Structure 1
């Protein structure tokens, strides 16, 4: 969001002791909506990383061709972030978040119905737009509703919705794909995408239980002010874009092809691949919460630098360990 957040917004500064029951419930629901939105967004994204081989076989394409659809989905994320971010700054957080969740859920189902590689490619690009819009809107809704002293910890919690989504995709791969593939090998991958339609139900929860951000109500702006704010703060804006580019390079560079790496290079079965991926994401959830708290105590920059250096040092253990136990340990720690 482009508006500088004002910590005087009521819901962000009200003492937890003085809050009413309704205010506590709204804070909880806002954080839950942001967390679940990001979790289910990640689920729909990571489903494809587990079935690259199946999709390639179904469409008569190579693995790099299917990997390209992942790349293009990520390339479209900035468009979604810009479009949904502008809508959220102008019209509030709830509406774009609901539209966003519905869009990526519907596109996931359509991906499972895709008749050709070309259609599948276009759908994944559209999915990238929906995916790109979720984080900024959901995080704004959640973090604007809580006390500033909790934002580091809760930002870690929200971010680990991404790891939770990957974990749930691995669980679905283990619990649904494996048995369905044994009976209907040509359609198992499509079923995985159909499961990705369930997040649309989250929009009903947002509609019924989540109130609009009080911070947005106090500081909503017009388009002219919105445009000026970008140009006035462009150095910081550019810095943050570059920072997140680096972070996403590390994140997607270590996750998106990991199931394929485990199956092709390490010769693991689909079930073992799912198990190792779940262990890795359990570590990510623990790390996100710990470093979120660490950032509240020691600062954001120190937390990011410590986590990045630690991950770099763990890469050899993560990919070159000689046995399954050490691979699992490396995945958990990285």
Structure 2
């Protein structure tokens, strides 16, 4: 193979080098992983926070619901920003936003403040996937996009797994507040994106859509759009309806020790990744 062929084979679709491709995919994966970590930290703290804030466990469970309810808001906000200003900048802003909110959760003095912070976190949580996945898939080699999309999604289970590790190591040694402080570390990912990730070439070549154009496109593809919306709704209903409360279910109903719950969560998330 001559030098020109080598150069061509090392260039990605849209003109990105192979190195640039993998930086973009890595950023998308880490963003999704760390976003999930920050969410699932709470599922190991339901009983602890109920005692800490002097509220019933149902109130802490409501914070999970409130977080998820705010995800569509974040998806729309950061989706619009990503279409208008590119994928890279909004992704950095999103990661910093949800990391700072997570950090502040560790300083919450009462339940009301904690609930408000978790709702704000939900906005950041909802914004990460669309922007991060767009950047990763638009930058990835076309022939590997199917495989990489699966790996990218597995980052959610990896985040849950890391939250279980934190519940086993951080919680018993440093307390519940430190669990959220650790969740502030993902802000460092913004530095990785700033210095290593290039803007999506696909975005550079597109025109910023108007809201009318977005609605028109959704209507034009209403069958597939409705199918995918329903599919995602049911998938999230089933996944969050079971996995979010499973650690507390094991502790409260079956009397499983917290450290054993952490080990079990690690195991079932390894299965989810595989």
Do both share a fold (TM > 0.5)?
A: yes
- Which 5+ residue runs of structure 1 have no aligned equivalent? 1-13, 181-187, 287-334
Following superposition, the deviation at residue 17 of structure 1 comes to 6.4
1:90 aligned residue:
84
Residue 80 to residue 16, structure 1, CA distance change in 2 (3 Å): farther
2:20 aligned residue:
26
Instruction: Number of aligned residue pairs: give it.
Output: 266
Higher mean alpha-carbon deviation, 69-78 vs 215-224, is at 215-224
Please report the RMSD computed on the Cα atoms of aligned residues, expressed in angstroms.
1.8
Q: Under a length normalisation based on structure 1, what TM-score does the superposition of the two structures give?
A: 0.76
1:304 aligned residue:
none
Selected match of 1:75 from 69, 74, 88: 69
CA distance in 1 between partners of 2:253 and 2:90 (Å): 41
Contact 1:178 1:271 in 2 (8 A): no
1:330 aligned residue:
none
Does the residue aligned with 1:115 lie in a helix, a strand or coil?
A: coil
CA distance in 2 between partners of 1:20 and 1:245 (Å): 37
Does the residue aligned with 2:17 lie in a helix, a strand or coil?
A: helix
2:235 aligned residue:
247
Superimposed CA distance per residue, residues 94-134 of structure 1 (whole angstroms, 9 cap, x where no aligned partner): 01101110111001011111111111111111110100000
Contact 1:178 1:270 in 2 (8 A): no
1:328 aligned residue:
none
1:281 and 2:257 are equivalent in the alignment: no
CA distance in 1 between partners of 2:34 and 2:47 (Å): 23
Higher relative contact order (CA 8 A, sep 6+): 2
Does the residue aligned with 2:139 lie in a helix, a strand or coil?
A: coil
1:219 aligned residue:
206
- Which 5+ residue runs of structure 2 have no aligned equivalent? none
2:132 aligned residue:
138
Contact 2:25 2:135 in 1 (8 A): yes
Following superposition, the deviation at residue 169 of structure 1 comes to 0.4
CA distance in 1 between partners of 2:103 and 2:63 (Å): 16
Q: Under a length normalisation based on structure 2, what TM-score does the superposition of the two structures give?
A: 0.92
Following superposition, the deviation at residue 239 of structure 1 comes to 2.1
CA distance in 2 between partners of 1:266 and 1:242 (Å): 34
